[in-house]
Structure 1
Amino acid sequence: MNKNITFLAFLFGVFALSSCGKTTTINTNMELTGKWELQSIVQNSDTIKKPVLAKGQMPVSLHFKEKGELEGTSSTNILTGFYETAQQNTIQMGGGGTERAETQWGNLFVNAIPNVNLYDLKMNKLVLYYENNNQLIFSRVQ
């Protein structure tokens, strides 16, 4: 429970800091919009592949909408938030959700998202970079 409160406080803090004292213009990349499903995670040069879903689990995904809106699913929960892109493929993401009954795969995703700062988009593949070149690798769903 404390971890959930700390995580949500962090995400809302990031949102508050990024919007205090300035007018934010949401800049979205039209090629980025759409739904993306997490296929693998690269951490410290180790690749962790998407596990087989158990009954009742959802695929880990992000849905980038126009106007900077972001929706996602972890293995067992729904997330909502925002995103903003800028020059040189920088990206800032924030939002919230619960971490109830989360799987190890879902926890890896949820813990990485607040640290994402760069993205790379090629054909139907999206790579989100975080913490020293670690990667979340997605494929386009729609």
Structure 2
Amino acid sequence: MKNLLHSLTMVLFSLLVSSCGKTTTISSNMELTGKWQLESIVQEEDTIRKPGPAKGQLDVSLNFKDKGELEGTSSTNYITGFYETAQQNTIQLGGGGTERAETSWGNLFVNALPNVNVYDLKSNRLILFYENNNQLIFSRVQ
């Protein structure tokens, strides 16, 4: 009975270790860590560029922090939440904030964010992909 229990424990341990190989979730990604400012949005092959500064408006940004914490700003509001990355550049973002008095630029960002599922990171440029290859394109701030 003791050998059977030991064998069963070893099989379960082996299954656990081998099943984590391709789907291991990473709570945060050091390359992503830092603040990113939204520069443009690509929707259905149209590129929408960041509008010029306006009084009382914030830069649209995301701040990826350690341990999967996420902070950000839309055009007029603050966002808090989490992020989680996995292999093959998949990403999940969650959280929220108010949507009061958003500009059209802020609304594009806020509405796209929950649908982001893949990212591409090269040097100081981050692209978050959502819905049929639409893109949120960021540049690194810090």
TM-score, normalised with respect to structure 2? 0.82
* CA distance in 1: counterparts of 2:27 and 2:63, whole angstroms: 16
Q: Would you say how many aligned residue pairs link Structure 1 and Structure 2?
A: 119
> Which digits, 9 at most, give the CA deviation of each residue in 1:94-142, with x for residues without a partner?
0010000000000000000000000000000000000000000000000
Q: Show the counterpart of 1:74.
A: 74
Query: 2:119 aligned with 1:123, yes or no?
Result: no
Mapping 1:26-41, distance limit 5 Å: 26-41=26-41
* CA distance in 1: counterparts of 2:27 and 2:77, whole angstroms: 27
Q: CA deviation at 1:44?
A: 0.1
Unpaired stretches in structure 1, ≥5 consecutive residues? 1-23
| CA RMSD across the alignment | 1.2
Unpaired stretches in structure 2, ≥5 consecutive residues? 1-23
TM-score, normalised with respect to structure 1? 0.82
Q: Show the counterpart of 1:91.
A: 91
* CA distance in 2: counterparts of 1:74 and 1:137, whole angstroms: 14
* CA distance in 2: counterparts of 1:74 and 1:135, whole angstroms: 16
> Which digits, 9 at most, give the CA deviation of each residue in 1:45-95, with x for residues without a partner?
000000012100000000000100000000000000000000000000000
**Could you say what secondary structure the match of 2:58 adopts?**
coil
Superposition misfits of 4+ residues, deviation over 3 angstroms: none
- Kindly provide the amino acid, as one letter, of the partner of residue 104 in structure 2: Q
Q: Show the counterpart of 2:106.
A: 106
> Relative to 1, partners in 2 of residues 1:117 and 1:67: Cα closer, same or farther, differing over 3 Å?
same
> Which digits, 9 at most, give the CA deviation of each residue in 1:10-63, with x for residues without a partner?
xxxxxxxxxxxxxx9652110100000000000000000000121000000000
Mapping 1:1-80, distance limit 5 Å: 26-80=26-80
Q: Show the counterpart of 2:13.
A: none
